[in-house]
Chains A and B, each alone.
Chain A
Amino acid sequence: MQFMLLFSRQGKLRLQKWYVPLSDKEKKKITRELVQTVLARKPKMCSFLEWRDLKIVYKRYASLYFCCAIEDQDNELITLEIIHRYVELLDKYFGSVCELDIIFNFEKAYFILDEFLLGGEAQETSKKNVLKAIEQADLLQEVSNTGLHPESFVNPSCV
């Protein structure tokens, strides 16, 4: 996967994750172009489109569009699956996630994504494990915020 974008129906970017190094200028250009293209598509259209030399897979959940760019040989259906998986994770984590959850806790949305995907590849396909990892990391954060030394809480044995 090359990158993932989340944007609203109004075209506002809500989340961006780039797995290829690009300059800010390029990123902005691509984002603008893609948001326009995807928003112009009609609701009953299929989730795939060819764009430059990439394939775009997008899906709309309520007011949010989840949009991924994959290479020519990549599998569109598994990418849809990834998007869906991510939405499920957000939903579990926030409890009936909505756009505002992602706006106000955008760093959390990133952490969940990072726990699920690494360098554009699914690293953990089990939903349960991803959520467990996030919860533990949050706990760790909470502990360190309350002034205790983090190391004391770390459980060195892994999941």
Chain B
Amino acid sequence: MALKIVKGSIDRMFDKNLQDLVRGIRNHKEDEAKYISTCIDEIKQELKQDNIAVKANAVCKLTYLQMLGYDVSWAAFNIVEVMSSSKFTYKRIGYLAASQCFHESTDVIMLTTNQIRKDLSSPNQYDTGVALTGLSCFVTPDLARDLANDIMTLVSHGDCVKRKRCSVLIMYKVFLKYPESLRPAFPRLKEKLEDPDPGVQSAAVNVICELARRNPKNYLSLAPLFFKLMTSSTNNWVLIKIIKLFGALTPLEPRLGKKLIEPLTNLIHSTSAMSLLYECVNTVIAGQYCSSVGSVVLCVQKLRILIEDSDQNLKYLGLLAMSKILKTHPKSVQSHKDLILQCLDDKDESIRLRALDLLYGMVSKKNLMEIVKKLMLHVDKAEGTTYRDELLTKIIDICSQSNYQYITNFEWSVSQPVTPHPPGISVSWWTIRVFAVAQMATLLDNAHLLTGSMQRNGICEVLYAAAWICGEFSEHLENPLQTLEAMLRPKVATLPGHIQAVYVQNAAKLFATVLKSQEGNTDSTTAQETSQLMIDRLPLFVQSANLEVQERASCILQLVKYIQKLQQKDVEVAEEVIALFAGELNPVAPKAQKKVPVPEGYLDLTPPSESESEDEQPKAIFAKEEPKHSRPRHTEVDEKELARRREARKQEQANNPFYIKASPSSQKVYQDAPGVEHIPVVQIDLSVPLKVPGLPMSDQYVKLEEERRQKERAEKKKKEKKKRKEKRSGRGKKHDSGPESEEDITPAHMVDIVTEEMPEVRCVSLQIQFSTSRIFNELSPSSFWVFNEKKSSKHKKKKQKKEKEEKEKKKKKKKHHHHHHHSDGGGEESVQNGTVEEEEPLPVSVYDIQGNLQDGSQVVVSVIFENKCDSFLKSMEFNVLDSLNSKLQRPEGSGPHDGLTVPFQLPPGVSNEARFVFTVQSIVMPQKLKGTLTFIVKNEDSSTHEKLDFKLHFTCTSYLITTPCYSDAFAKLLESGDLKGSSVRLEGVNMPFHHLLARICFHHHFSVVERIDSCASMYSRSIQGHHVCLLVKTSGQTVSIDAKCDEPTLLGNVLDEIKQTFSQC
């Protein structure tokens, strides 16, 4: 009612007050700008008058106009005038206007100092109040300096609680602007922490909490006082601030964490205020409370309750906090996977996105397939929304995470339409095909990078898919001829047979496309050249040992020869050739398809040198039928397609902010009724049209996989001796036993150089680990291995001695195969990413060092342990002597010399992989770390403790990450002048230039930016973001490499390593 009186009195006094202005603006919707400009003219007139009431009214109107976005800075002086009015009514308006319009560069602010000082010390507490409020908005460093003392006086001598409280709060703003005032003021501020008035106390807590967040270490001494406050206070506002303060302090003082854990858990248990609970949970997560697993479990439990709540806000915050826990305690979050997956059904997109983020971090080898399967269901539902794009991106991210380390089953992933490397055929795939085709073409172009590393991973399966995609969607290719050329490179012949077969077939499709594009072109040389290219290159495949490849190649070769003849007679053949592969949806003529079954189902990834001999054996192991690449015809999807589109449209409307239906038009606050109804999502079963006949769908696959695993588990219990046999019979086999073995699914495609011909040589079995290359972003064959062998062996048994010679011979052979593979017959090679000097009869370890992209100071070393002896190995401990620069990351609480327990045991002949994370400070120098592996060798009758020394060689190359770079970006980089140069010459390099480049790419993680004749530019980047640019030129047997890098030491070392690679050619 006070308001009504005030309103009435103001109304009567002026011609046009604020209300009139507002009303006027609302009545002049069409010509608002014009109306306002007349208003401003009036206001200017009013400001010229002497009457302070008129001026105040004008200033009030200006404040309103300022909010509408009009410039009122010209009236700053008038605002100061109104501020200095002695009447509270006008002063209040003046200060309001000032706090809204003034900012640091307003020059009249300096005129206000004295006025503010006067108001601060005014006997009228309301004058002080408005002055403090205004000051909190426009305080400048000058004002802060000049008024700090006055404020301090208010703090200590204020007779009024409110004044005290406000002045304490404003101190924070003053400190920010004028830090020098903090030191003298601090004792008084500290006093206020124990002020009898809770308001003043809370203000002091507020200020100190904010200060401590900026610079915690100065406030550690206050911890006991705050601890007392925390246990005594019941005011949630204060408690939240105190807890936040502790959150800032604990990282500096770990003991505090132990002390706090109890009151914090008590609060978590007892409080009913969600804000307080959330603050406690957040502090526990963020603080160094990791030692207490119990508290984390409690937090996760509480967060689960939040997430299960129907309140969207709590759900969101619960997920947000979960993702923070995930970083430190992934295990405890992973057990709530069900809940997180449920959140994907939430109607709130921001919650779904949060849940997606969480899922990304929760993926493990074990649950990847299940999670992706669920996500795929959502992709179908979310058709036509931006959320769907997000989903697809996330699925791709999830699958390619950490270089595909979680993908244990490439066969499965190939059946996934959206994973990065599938010949996937579904609606979602359809939408990205143009993009994908371009990607695939690049992939084929860079295939040499992949082929090098292929025997240790399933990555070359990607080429199978890529080749098919490029052939099938050749009309989307930018440069089909170039891709064709890439597909017919001699190197392709080293790929497994079934991939070669696809290559040949799709080369023919591309050929057809090229012909078509050249049709009508008067100059027929390109077309003829293309034919010639086919004729030149195909014989290589005709000679293939693989029947499939041979058959296709000879067919196509004859066809091309015939076409060439026609071409020479200037007959237009393109139409006919294209007809061979006509039908967009049904790529290969059905008959042809039937004729050429490509074995799939089991990926034979043995290196070609070996597979050649194997290829002659009948393909009995390829049990499954080939997946057919035909897509369901449009006609049969019509009905469902329509339904799907309807659904998509609905989704789109729901997402469109302008499509909102009218809300219930109540104007009153408190309704909280959001108005726009949620549009129910009609579920439509889309599985049918999306299904690809012949391709195992993901869910089926998961089921199969599960059955298989169950069977295996059952079999394992029987403890049979058939292990080896089974392994050879194809499917992935559990190699490890012991507690952790349930945890990992063995990759379905074991890459195993098993010497089947010589089974008696028990010791020679080299495991090659799974792919780590990224496909889309970079082609990074992470590394390769070389074995060095130490002859000394203390624990040689007589029996093994006999075999030793044989074994060594075998090893050399292996090595040779290996090299042959990488270098394409380029002879011996030497640079190694990793070498483990090993002793027998102990486990062979092979390792791979890779930089962590996310963290420039982390390097992950994967080590494969293989037990080559007859005894059971257990209690393995891996330890490395830390250097100043590199440190093995050990779990919290363990000393710097403690070893890490390898989480598995090794029965004879079994191998397993473990990963170790190292923190590396400087990456500019290579270094060797010495380490030991201790373990217990257990025989039937005895067990001995053994030790194996090894060295880890961290080359500079291992810190480089293959990063693609476009030539313009590359040129810019060189022009920038920040890079320092260096160069190296290699003599007597006797290999084709492209081999040389491939070698640098492969061994040293570079990518080719541009290649012109015998000159190429290459690029790579270190995990800490150093750019490394190379210019490689060759003439005769001399290769010169000019290099530039922002870190000269790193560059020098990388060049040395490159030199070493070629020195042993």
Contact = CB atoms under 8 A, between A and B. Distances in A.
Contact of A136 (B64, B126, B348): B126
Interface in A9-31: 9, 13-19, 21-24, 28
Contacts of A81: 275
Contact of B669 (A18, A46, A61, A122): A61
A42 interface: yes
A44 B347 contact: yes
Contact of B3 (A75, A138, A146, A150): A138
A124 to B, nearest CB: 7
Given A44-B347, A45-B349, A119-B172, A105 B125 contact: no
Given A21-B138, A62-B666, A142-B6, A77 B60 contact: no
Interface in A48-88: 48-49, 59-64, 73, 75-78, 80-81, 87
A33 interface: no
A79 to B, nearest CB: 9
Contacts of A142: 2, 5-6, 9
A49 B350 contact: yes
Nearest to B95: A114
B452 to A, nearest CB: 42
A48 B275 contact: no
Nearest to A82: B237
B40 to A, nearest CB: 16
Nearest to A154: B124
A145 B10 contact: yes
B763 interface: no
A97 B172 CA distance: 33
Contacts of B73: 24
Contacts of B124: 150-151, 154
Contacts of B63: 106-107
B551 to A, nearest CB: 58
Q: Summarize A's interface: helix, strand, loop or mixed.
A: mixed
Contact of A73 (B206, B213, B312): B213
Most buried by B among A17, A59, A114: A114
A78 B275 contact: yes
Contacts of A124: 162, 165, 199
Most buried by B among A42, A91, A99: A42
A108 to B, nearest CB: 7
Interface string A99-137: 110011111101100110011111111000000010111
A45 B350 contact: yes
B806 interface: no
B669 A96 contact: yes
B103 interface: yes
Contact of B348 (A45, A104, A123): A45
Contact of A98 (B66, B162, B669, B677): B669
Contacts of A103: 22
B239 to A, nearest CB: 10
Contact of A150 (B5, B87, B140): B87
B657 interface: yes
Give the interface SS of chain B, mostly helix, strand, loop or mixed.
Answer: helix
Nearest to B69: A28
Contact of A138 (B6, B173, B317): B6
Contact of B279 (A75, A136, A156): A75
- The CB with the most chain B CB atoms within 10 A, among A39, A43, A76, is that of A43
Given A42-B655, A48-B313, A107 B103 contact: no
A87 B136 contact: no
Given A77-B274, A107-B93, A150 B88 contact: yes
Contact of A119 (B169, B213, B313, B351): B169
A67 to B, nearest CB: 14
B89 A141 contact: yes
Contact of B64 (A39, A106, A115): A106
B348 A44 contact: yes
B669 A104 contact: no
B241 to A, nearest CB: 9
B988 to A, nearest CB: 56
Name the residue in A23, A98, A123, A139 with the highest tally of chain B Cβ atoms < 10 Å from its Cβ: A123
Contacts of B123: 151, 154, 156
B688 interface: no
Given A24-B73, A144-B88, A145-B6, A78 B240 contact: yes
Contacts of B317: 48, 76-77
B667 A62 contact: yes
B166 interface: yes
Given A119-B173, A142-B9, A13 B279 contact: no
B619 interface: no
B3 A43 contact: no
Contact of A111 (B96, B203, B672): B96
B74 interface: no
B712 interface: no
A43 B162 CA distance: 39
A66 B842 CA distance: 69
B89 A64 contact: no
Nearest to A24: B71
A119 B136 contact: yes
A87 to B, nearest CB: 6
A19 B137 contact: yes
Contacts of B172: 119, 121
Nearest to B207: A121
Contacts of B68: 13
B390 to A, nearest CB: 15
B499 interface: no
A140 B159 CA distance: 20
B213 A13 contact: no
Contacts of A115: 129
A22 B663 CA distance: 35
Interface in B723-751: none
Contacts of B160: 158
A77 B671 CA distance: 19
Contact of B162 (A64, A76, A87, A158): A158
B170 A137 contact: no
Contacts of B350: 41, 45-46, 48-49
Given A45-B348, A46-B348, A98-B669, A75 B278 contact: yes
Contact of B92 (A23, A39, A97, A137): A137
Given A43-B676, A110-B96, A140-B88, A121 B169 contact: yes
A78 B237 contact: yes
A43 to B, nearest CB: 3
A114 B130 CA distance: 8
Contacts of A64: 669
Contacts of A122: 237
Given A61-B669, A75-B279, A158-B163, A114 B133 contact: yes
Contacts of A18: 137
Contacts of A2: none
Interface string B136-164: 11101000000000000000000111110
15 contacts: A21-B137, A43-B675, A46-B351, A48-B317, A61-B672, A62-B666, A105-B3, A111-B92, A114-B133, A121-B210, A124-B165, A125-B202, A140-B89, A142-B5, A150-B86
Interface of A: 9, 13-19, 21-24, 28, 39-49, 59-64, 73, 75-78, 80-81, 87, 90-91, 93-94, 96-100, 103-108, 110-111, 114-115, 118-125, 133, 135-142, 144-146, 150-151, 154, 156, 158-159
Given A44-B347, A104-B18, A121-B172, 11 more contacts: A21-B103, A47-B312, A61-B670, A76-B278, A77-B274, A98-B667, A120-B136, A125-B235, A133-B129, A137-B129, A156-B125
